[in-house]
Structure 1
Amino acid sequence: MIPDLLEIPALRAAYAAGLTPEALINALYDRIDTYPDKAVFISLVPREEALAAARSVDLSLPLAGVPYVVKDNIDVAGMPTTAACPDFAYTAARDATVVAKLRATGAILLGKTNLDQFATGLNGTRSPYGAPRSVFNADYISGGSSSGSAVAVAAGLAAFSLGTDTAGSGRVPAACNNIVGLKPSIGRISAAGVVPACKSLDCVAIFANSAADAMDVLRMAEGYDEADAYSRVPREVALPVAPKLGVLAVKDRDFAGDEQAAKLYAEAIAQAGALGWAMVEIDYAPLRDIATLLYGGAFVAERLAAVRAFYASHAESFDPTVRHIIGGAEKFSAADAFADIYKVQALRHAALAELGKCDALLLPTAPAIFTVAEMLEQPVKHNSTLGLYTNFVNLLDLAAIALPAGFRENGLPFGVTFIGPAFSDATLAGYASTLHAALGAGAGVNQAQPTATYSAPAPEEVTVVVAGAHLSGMVLNHELVHLGARLVSSTTTAPDYKLYALATTPPKPGLAQTPGFAGSGIAVEVWALSPENFGRFVAALPAPMGIGRVTLADGSVHPGFLCEAYALEGATDITGFGGWRAYRASLS
């Protein structure tokens, strides 16, 4: 039996129970043939070819028999790549790197999907192949530019799909169709064999029914590729399991008049808080200003650079709105481009200060959703609205994952997005999986609840024992807090430690192990922080402080503050106070 929701673990279980890949693929082609929105696909793999792949697939492969589709700006050997422009079309000689990787995992490609032409747009209406519609209401946009890719997953025509994301194209369509959209860190998935939009910012995105599925695909698709100049070796940046989330201040919550969206965003924040996560309001202004520059300035010239030769000879082949946007880049000079690069860099400092207040952002994916008629009436204005909370992400080299967050009273979906540092993809997916389940919006048009979950990996941490001014509430504790350290425990050292008030100005504590001494132990705290921040903390320590190994009352040994021996000369033994906090209290 075909699962109600095309999740990867559910398909594996169905195959183990007797479903054959051939039967699934045949059933999905029947669905595609009868699906009313004929604008979803630009081209299909012939049914018999896909069935042959299904019959011969090795079921021991990690994505064996999992059906997927790709946006038609991604090359598939032997199939046309159109980028939604018929005159641009060419037959690809080889698979894009990401397609080749997925083919090797046993995943079965069904076809190539529609998009905003040359991936220029966030709405899904800028294609001569038609405008795919939201799976919930055919009067409304599907979101773009990865329109067909999102609809195919939300409609149950594929288990996952590939899109691309430059300004939000892997996230806005997810919000319009109640699915997950993962925008990986730039370069994590190779873009070799992908028609560029803005080459320095483009990412291959993944649409799926759950964060777990999106990460399953990411693990198969990622990897350094020398054929892509922007490819990077994947690594992991772990964030706290219980994060501090940056959310929009009330004054910055712009939903273009969509009061239902505003309400759903507030409810998502409340649910995140109920999970035990902390919320902190950020000033969105610098991020908004960066977002504006992506389309409102010289950065658009990179879109012209991607298709310059074709545009020069085939300007009439472009969708009118796309032609207006790309052709508008001709008025900018190289000096203008550098001026905007400088603007982004200036804004970056303010933006990073806001990002520094939290571990990750929790933002609306899009402020509103428009009808196709509204979109065609004001294509530039409404497109800008759709990108209000997405356009800045790639300019700042951030990772993001969009997830379903409920429904408006008219039945249209709303979504939110977690945004974090480059290569924090896995942790963000863990947050998304947890909040997705808590919000209960399900996935796709059937709103079925995903059964697959993904847990954020625990961050790698280093512990440090502090005994003096870095204790909670004391004068230097802010240095640890600023580095994202968390308090693990308040305890004491083993009995053979003494504490001294050093002859410095002002006095500093000195912890020293004294073999043979039998005391009561010194009050200390154990803090944990990332290896990178531990290194920063240690590098800033002034003499005569140093880091050694401190044994605690329970026998465990941790890095901790110790004092160089020379500094103990002339120091006052304050061991009898039991700790630095008690000693300082005695002075007042």
Structure 2
Amino acid sequence: MTDTAVARVCAAFRRLDELAGTEHARPEAWVTLRDRSRVLHDAESVDRRLARGERLPLAGMVIAVKNNIDVAGLPTTCGSRSRMVVPSRSATVVARVVESGAVVLGTTSMDQFATGVVGTRSAFGAVRSVSDPNRIAGGSSSGSAVVVAQGIVDAALSTDTAGSGRVPAALNGIVGIKPTRGLLPLTGVVPASPSFDVVGVLARDVGTAQRCAAVMCGPDADDPASRCWPENAPHGAPATPRVGVPTPGDLDGMDPGHRQAFADAVSSAAARGAELVTVDIAGLLAVGQMLYGSGIVAERSAAFGEEFATISDPDPAVLDVIERGRGISAVDYLRDMRAMREQAARAVRVFETIDALMLPTVGEHPTIADTAADPAEVNARMGRFTTFANLADLSAIAVPMGSCPNGSSFGVTFLAPAFHDAVVAEIAQRLSGRSVSRQWTPPLRNIIVFGAHRRGQPLHYQIADRGGEFAGIVRTAPEYSMLALDTEPMKPAVLHTGQAAIVGERWLLRPAALAAFVDDVEYPMTLGKVRLDNGEEVLGFVVEPRALHGEDITADGNWLVHLARKDRGRVEV
């Protein structure tokens, strides 16, 4: 963000004031709006931290939080007016975004206990779409999606078990990241279906959503299901991605306008460089039906059924889900869970031949009246292309991509296997016509090289063969000297004893690749911290003190310049 945190908070409140009393106002989207003075106080604190030199990747970002995610001091209602639990501690994901400089504006409405993808199952009222007050906003993260789409907040935290972030993203023309299960910890999140719950992010663009997701990633000791990025997780997409699209039969039941919009989106993806492959998704759709249509529904009853029985304003559709779950035996639950996992293992084989799967996020945009008339059926149709994702352990991102013939927004979802989050994010950006922003990727490690490992030099293969990514030319702080060592091949020795800035290259490696690279380092070289001219300290090549000998070439300041001067090979610097 370029604005100060205070300026951005003031802009958020101005936007709220502009919308108030107009046909575009959606007050039902909020559960709690924090007092203006308290929010400004938090923003002032962020600006002071920045002034002190703290690194705050979300500084100036204003966020909202779905009301099943604890925010210290604000009531967590889960869509029920009679459930007013005020936590003293924020959920881990909230604590992490706040520590990174984000400011919480308030909490948002949702389908009760995150059960539903329609946004009408709340005691605070049905949340209306930003584009049409007669139509649903989608759920269960309805309020979070609407306040993002209205331009009030920059991003909002959601949860997405069966499509609860992706569906409202599609219906309101915004981006919804549904990460791999466990990447974002669930400590402080009221469970809906614990085996499949995830925290997600809603934003108006992929880059903002990635930035927010990035700071929330990482294991949490209080969440045994939280997961680390594996060392071999991909951090980018192929230049020409193979993208699966469903067969025409898999799209049966979509309304004609949405079906035409998806056909247009597929054509657009092909024009933007995707290699399209028709695939059969019947197996994935069958997996999705098992969340509510098998013994797995018992997870809902186990997660919040007892508490739901104590609230005074239960939604009938949610109550029906809980009642069905209560009749499931432990034997039936375990049997169906195993059957689902076996079905999912077969279904995900579709990804053996494609980099990502492209689907319509939803197949229609129902009215609030239609949803009230048949809540179970409408909800089932709305989740058709989303429900299977967490059951099959996939990563996903929903993005706007065109519009329906009636002018309403249309969105598609890109899906890939677990921990391919960076892959689907990059593909989504490319194929929806947006510039690529790699802000949420598996962690890479920096290493600075000065001589034989640079591009075009004899040991560069040790980096290139391990998937190293070039990240630019760097210079050390002016406190180093450099010797030319008489080794084979020749190498420079960079010493932290001098007054010169030495030129090197920054490379990025995955942790496992870096560990293997370290094993190849031969005497007298070693790795240690190197201070750059911007004050950053990064792992780089240094030399063991007992091996100090050789010609002092500090004046050259650059190993390639030294080689050129010695006529050992003309290299472009």
Aligned partner of 1:434 among 430, 433, 454 = 430
8 Å Cα contact 1:187/1:203 also seen in 2: yes
Aligned partner of 2:301 among 288, 291, 304 = 304
Residue 416 of structure 1 is matched in structure 2 by: 412
Is structure 2 residue 308 aligned with structure 1 residue 319? no
Aligned partner of 2:178 among 176, 180, 183 = 183
8 Å Cα contact 1:430/1:455 also seen in 2: no
Per the alignment, do residues 87 and 14 of structure 1 end up closer, same or farther by CA in structure 2, a change over 3 Å counting?
Answer: closer
8 Å Cα contact 1:211/1:454 also seen in 2: no
What does 1:5-404 align with in structure 2 at a 5 Å threshold? 12-15=1-4, 20-21=7-8, 23-31=10-18, 33-34=20-21, 36-58=25-47, 59=50, 61-235=56-230, 236-238=233-235, 239-254=237-252, 256-314=253-311, 317-404=313-400
Shift of 1:29: 4.4
| Distance in structure 2 (CA, Å) of the matches to 1:338 and 1:426 | 33
1:524-549: per-residue Cα shift (whole Å, max 9, x none)? xxxxxxx9xx9xxxxxxxxxxxxxxx
| Distance in structure 2 (CA, Å) of the matches to 1:217 and 1:313 | 35
Shift of 1:242: 2.0
Gaps of 5+ in 1: 1-11, 439-450, 461-530, 535-588
| Distance in structure 2 (CA, Å) of the matches to 1:158 and 1:282 | 38
| Distance in structure 2 (CA, Å) of the matches to 1:47 and 1:327 | 42
Shift of 1:32: 6.1
| Distance in structure 2 (CA, Å) of the matches to 1:458 and 1:271 | 29
Shift of 1:456: 9.3
* Aligned partner of residue 413 in structure 2, secondary structure: strand
* Aligned partner of residue 381 in structure 2, secondary structure: helix
Shift of 1:257: 4.5
What does 1:453-468 align with in structure 2 at a 5 Å threshold? 453-454=437-438
| Distance in structure 1 (CA, Å) of the matches to 2:321 and 2:442 | 44
Per the alignment, do residues 319 and 456 of structure 1 end up closer, same or farther by CA in structure 2, a change over 3 Å counting?
Answer: closer
8 Å Cα contact 1:210/1:452 also seen in 2: no
| Distance in structure 2 (CA, Å) of the matches to 1:224 and 1:324 | 35
Per the alignment, do residues 33 and 104 of structure 1 end up closer, same or farther by CA in structure 2, a change over 3 Å counting?
Answer: farther
1:267-304: per-residue Cα shift (whole Å, max 9, x none)? 11111111222111111111111111111111111011
Shift of 1:112: 0.3
Shift of 1:352: 2.3
Residue 468 of structure 1 is matched in structure 2 by: none
* Aligned partner of residue 78 in structure 1, secondary structure: coil
8 Å Cα contact 2:422/2:442 also seen in 1: no
* Aligned partner of residue 287 in structure 2, secondary structure: helix
8 Å Cα contact 1:237/1:421 also seen in 2: no
8 Å Cα contact 2:211/2:439 also seen in 1: no
Shift of 1:240: 2.5
| Distance in structure 2 (CA, Å) of the matches to 1:265 and 1:172 | 15
TM-score using structure 2 length: 0.72
1:553-581: per-residue Cα shift (whole Å, max 9, x none)? xxxxxxxxxxxxxxxxxxxxxxxxxxxxx
| Distance in structure 2 (CA, Å) of the matches to 1:137 and 1:29 | 18
Percentage of matched positions with identical amino acids: 40
| Distance in structure 2 (CA, Å) of the matches to 1:302 and 1:455 | 34
Over aligned residues, Cα RMSD in angstroms? 2.5
Shift of 1:169: 0.5
Instruction: Number of aligned residue pairs: give it.
Output: 437
* Aligned partner of residue 263 in structure 2, secondary structure: helix
8 Å Cα contact 1:31/1:157 also seen in 2: no
Shift of 1:336: 1.3
8 Å Cα contact 2:210/2:440 also seen in 1: no
What does 1:512-523 align with in structure 2 at a 5 Å threshold? none
| Distance in structure 2 (CA, Å) of the matches to 1:237 and 1:306 | 34
| Distance in structure 1 (CA, Å) of the matches to 2:293 and 2:194 | 18
| Distance in structure 2 (CA, Å) of the matches to 1:15 and 1:452 | 25
Residue 545 of structure 2 is matched in structure 1 by: none
1:253 partner letter: L
| Distance in structure 2 (CA, Å) of the matches to 1:189 and 1:431 | 21
1:469-491: per-residue Cα shift (whole Å, max 9, x none)? xxxxxxxxxxxxxxxxxxxxxxx
Per the alignment, do residues 323 and 455 of structure 1 end up closer, same or farther by CA in structure 2, a change over 3 Å counting?
Answer: closer
| Distance in structure 1 (CA, Å) of the matches to 2:439 and 2:70 | 33
1:213-239: per-residue Cα shift (whole Å, max 9, x none)? 111111111111011121011343344
* Aligned partner of residue 407 in structure 2, secondary structure: coil
Per the alignment, do residues 79 and 15 of structure 1 end up closer, same or farther by CA in structure 2, a change over 3 Å counting?
Answer: closer
8 Å Cα contact 1:427/1:456 also seen in 2: no
1:100-159: per-residue Cα shift (whole Å, max 9, x none)? 011111111000000000000000000010111111111110000000000000011100
8 Å Cα contact 1:43/1:111 also seen in 2: yes
